[in-house]
Amino acid sequence: MEDKFVTVKTFNFPADATIAQTFMEMKGIDIYMKNLISNRLSYSLGEIEMQVRDSDYERAKDALLEGGFAQPDDFQQTLTK
């Protein structure tokens, strides 16, 4: 069965998203960057979603905290699921 992808973090700036993307790839976590436009003619701002497999969510969350890309408060609403 294939895992669905879930949003683990939302970024406002493409540069921040790209740095975090590289970090996650170094950690061996597969990600999908939703709404990230990699074209110099188009520049997206806001709502860039880093998505990971549902089964990798906790690992991705820990990696984002370790890398300084997120704070524990960023995940407070996920604790109530």
For the domain that residue 28 is a member of, what is the CATH number?
3.30.70.1530
- Work out how many domains the chain is built from and give that number: 1
Convert 42-76 to b/e letters by CB count within 10 Å (16 or more is b).
Answer: eebeeebbbbbbeebbebbbebbeeeebbeeeebe
- Flag whether 79 is in a domain: no
Query: Which pLDDT belongs to residue 81?
Result: 44
Query: Which pLDDT belongs to residue 43?
Result: 57
Q: Please give the residue range of the domain that contains residue 55.
A: 5-74
- Flag whether 24 is in a domain: yes
- Flag whether 66 is in a domain: yes
- Flag whether 9 is in a domain: yes
Query: Which pLDDT belongs to residue 13?
Result: 84
Query: Which pLDDT belongs to residue 80?
Result: 43
pTM beyond 0.85: the answer is no
In the predicted model, residues of the chain with pLDDT beneath 70 are 1-2, 38-46, 77-81
- Flag whether 41 is in a domain: yes
Query: Which pLDDT belongs to residue 74?
Result: 86
